[in-house]
Structure 1
Amino acid sequence: MIIMALVAQVAATPTFAEFKRLAPSIAGDLVLQGQTHGRIDSVIAPVGGLIAPGVVEAELVEQPVATERGCIRKRWAVSFSAPPSADINTATLARSHSSTEIGMPRPHGCRTASYAHLNPGIDQAQGFRSLTALEQIRLGARNLRFQCSDETSSGLCRNDRTILRVLNTLTPWAISRDANDVLIWLGTPGGIVTEVRFDLAEPSRVRVTRHIPAPF
């Protein structure tokens, strides 16, 4: 009853302050109305990073869906804007867009899976094939040949055993495509990037690079 009363007071386009007070599923229905979306499981508001004056951003994460290949969910980036001199809590919805994330299911299902963002140019089928190939690499598949470079002092490239040990401690968070190669970024977004690159047709030849991302 309390939630319904609160919703009744919120305008069709809620302010950022109103948006934050709502349950995730209700907040999602309001700011994503007119767009096809699943049930929103969680809201991250505000999102950090360099943002223009008068703008505040949030992320809405959908409930994951289990498929034959693995787990799929959408993440929505939502921007609210207000005049630069106004209280940011009065900001109203400016725009939103979605991206797709995939993950391999864990024993407790898709809710506990780790998810990787699919960048433009790679579809879900290629993404799942890439994660499957990465798992085979991390298990030490036969005939692996590593090419390694490291801009940090981590010692990643000391030998193949070290590379495999390090790769097994990191979580993939983004997948891209470059010509015939797939690129998987592991680690933590915003932190040191460990990139694994290989051709899906010949995943035994693996290029591993570690670098510090350029500042925003």
Structure 2
Amino acid sequence: MKKRKQIVIARILILLLFLVLSACSTSKVARYPELDRPDLPSSGYAVASWYGKDFHGKQTSSGEIYNMYSNTCAHKEYPFGTKLKVTHTTNNKAVTCTVNDRGPFIEGRDIDLSYAAAKDIGLIGPGVSTVLLEVEGRDNKYIRRIKVQSDEKTGPFTIQIGSFTEGANAVRLKAGLDLKYNNSYIQEVEINGAKYFRVRIGNYEDFNSALTIAEELGQVGYESIIMKAEVKI
């Protein structure tokens, strides 16, 4: 009986040690409420185009994989997860799509629809047309947690948005960030013979400055990790 008690106690101690170590190694996280963007109109006219098979299966700015057969869209400003009703002004056909990407990157265009969404409103043929956009809400699952790599409060700090083994994915993510931020960059590192392309924003001397931007990024829908600027993980 005494030996059995000792075994039980030993197992409990091992479990407690595991929990303590896990807590120490886990980054601090915080979840933030839905972003309030009064500067973005709830409705208005826009120039729409569409994108299809050339991007099918590739990663979007939100981190999701682009599926040309889903009703999604790319917009320059609306937070990821925003539900937009898109009405083709020529034929009054409408579709609701979810913003999960950034773009378009062609001057004079405001929104890129997926192939499926464009087909629903008859945009495939003309390619570009005027549409009416109406915000119908937002899917809050796109709001991201902010991760903090360490407890250090002495800068400089940077914010990592993504890490890729393919440079093209990093370039696309940076292009989306460049629509609003002028201090994003790609850091190329080699670890154990493998190349990684890190997409990061800023070089902040104090933690609170980095946190302010990270909060904004997390609310919009970007994965954000605050870390020391010189860290190359």
* TM-score, reference length from structure 1: 0.24
Bigger Rg, structure 1 or 2: 2
Higher relative contact order (CA 8 A, sep 6+): 2
* TM-score, reference length from structure 2: 0.23
